[in-house]
Amino acid sequence: MSKMKEKDINIFKEVSKLENKGYKLSNMQKILLATDGSITIILDVLNGEISIKTLVQRFEKADSKIAEILDIEENEKVNYRVVLMYKDNKPLIYAKSYIPLKRLGNEIKEDLIKANIPIGRILRKHNIESRREIENIGIEPSDNELVKLFNSKEDLLTRKYVIIRDNERLIWIKEAFPLNHFTE
């Protein structure tokens, strides 16, 4: 296993690159892309307490790509989870995550398996001191699944980041939402 490597991206420059390509981002979109805090808290403040719907949750063995992302050995068990954050049946953010099981205590695993608790709330509930390091922000085309979930063919604003605890990658997350969301 290699020593953990961090990608140090300049969020301001990355947002500027998107805008220089002709994308006019709202302040809220910039905040959601750039925050190194909890998206759950931001969405709760904006919308009232949000909910999540777990679309996929399973335990699997890490392939070489996931092992590298999480800085673990290939074939180690990870939790793969895909959720949709929403409020009043309005989809807000789609997120997928990989979590190496060996880095979780039993209580956290139980909350994770319950499925419909956002990761930000789980970390807060268990007083997990951690930091988020954003690895990438960008724009991607939507796929058929996300067109149906969001009822939108708009391209997606995305961000990929890791949650780090005790200098280990605890969680890798990719979040996405359509360009026509959070425009106010």
DSSP string, 4-61: P------HHHHHHHHHHTT----HHHHHHHH-SS-HHHHHHHHHSS-EEEEEEEEEEE
pLDDT value for 8: 55
Q: Give the CATH number of the domain where residue 110 resides.
A: 3.40.1410.10
Domain range for residue 150? Answer: 11-178
Tell me, what amino acid is at 177?
Answer: F
Average pLDDT over residues 108-113: 74
Is residue 68 situated within a structural domain?
Answer: yes
Q: How confident is the model at residue 7 (pLDDT cuts 50, 70, 90)?
A: low
Q: What's the domain count of the chain?
A: 1
64 vs 118, residue with greater confidence: 64
How many whole angstroms separate alpha carbon 59 and alpha carbon 141?
28
Is residue 2 situated within a structural domain?
Answer: no
Residue 3 has pLDDT above 50, yes or no: no
What is the token pair recorded at 134?
């954003």
Residue 5 has pLDDT above 60, yes or no: no
Is residue 112 situated within a structural domain?
Answer: yes
Is residue 5 situated within a structural domain?
Answer: no
